[in-house]
């Protein structure tokens, strides 16, 4: 009679560094084997030991969010080695500025129409609002 033992596949971190994934592995809760790229990115940009130090700087209930944000930053840096997340922020800020200008122009048109109903307004907001805001600069939009 053979004894059955449950097999726990190694987490992505232990698989990457080719070591035995022991019970209680610190990386295992955050790096499931199904997503090896997540750990590869984090390892490349932050390094495994740095990453654990950063994780230990936050409270336990905040660690999952911290891992997600660090993984996001690492992925952004892998995609854009020069600017990383700063490139995403710059892109989004430009989008915000553009939308604010369009909104100001549309509000001005609305005021004009209310004041002078026969005035033929030349709509200055030419672009539809379906563009932009969803891409986040090309990095996985799962954060929101």
Interface residue list for another protein (CB under 8 A): 44-47, 50, 54, 57-58, 62, 65-66, 68-70, 72-73, 81-89, 92-93, 95-96, 99-100, 102-103, 106-107, 109-110, 113-114, 117-118, 121, 123, 125, 129, 132-133, 136, 143-144
Instruction: CB nearer to another protein: give 10 or 136.
Output: 136
Mutual angle of helices 48-56 and 36-45, in 10-degree steps? 90
Q: What is the DSSP string of 5-64?
A: ----PPPHHHHHHT----TT-SSTTT--TT-HHHHHHHHHHT-HHHHHHHHHTS-GGGHH
With 0-12 / 13-18 / 19 or more C-beta atoms within 10 angstroms meaning exposed / middle / buried, residue 70 is buried
Q: How many helices (H) and strands (E) does the chain have?
A: 5, 0
Q: Smallest distance, Å, CB 99 to another protein?
A: 4
24/60 with CB nearer another protein: 60
Q: How far is the CB of 2 from another protein (least distance, A)?
A: 47
Expressed in percent and rounded to 5, the helix, strand and coil fractions of the chain are 60, 0, 40
From 50, 40, 38, 37, select the one nearest 17 (Cα to Cα).
Answer: 40
Nearest approach in angstroms of CB 9 to another protein is 28
Cβ closer to another protein: 20 or 61?
61
User: Which lies closer to another protein via its Cβ, residue 22 or residue 111?
Assistant: 111
Of 22 and 65, the one with the shorter C-beta distance to another protein is: 65
Smallest gap from residue 19 Cβ to another protein (A): 20
Closest distance to another protein from the beta carbon of 26 (Å): 17
């Amino acid at each position: 009679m053979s004894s059955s033992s449950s097999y726990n596949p190694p987490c992505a971190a232990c698989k990457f560094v080719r070591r035995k994934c022991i019970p209680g592995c610190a990386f295992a809760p955050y790096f499931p084997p199904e997503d090896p790229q997540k750990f590869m990115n984090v390892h490349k940009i932050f390094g495994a030991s740095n990453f654990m130090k950063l994780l230990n700087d936050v409270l336990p209930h905040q660690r999952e969010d911290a891992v997600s944000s660090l993984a996001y930053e690492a992925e952004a840096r892998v995609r854009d080695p020069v600017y990383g997340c700063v490139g995403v922020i710059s892109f989004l800020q430009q989008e915000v500025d553009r939308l604010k200008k369009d909104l100001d122009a549309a509000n001005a048109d609305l005021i004009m129409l209310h004041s002078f109903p026969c005035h033929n307004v030349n709509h200055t907001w030419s672009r539809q609002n379906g563009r932009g805001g969803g891409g986040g600069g090309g990095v996985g939009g799962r954060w929101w």
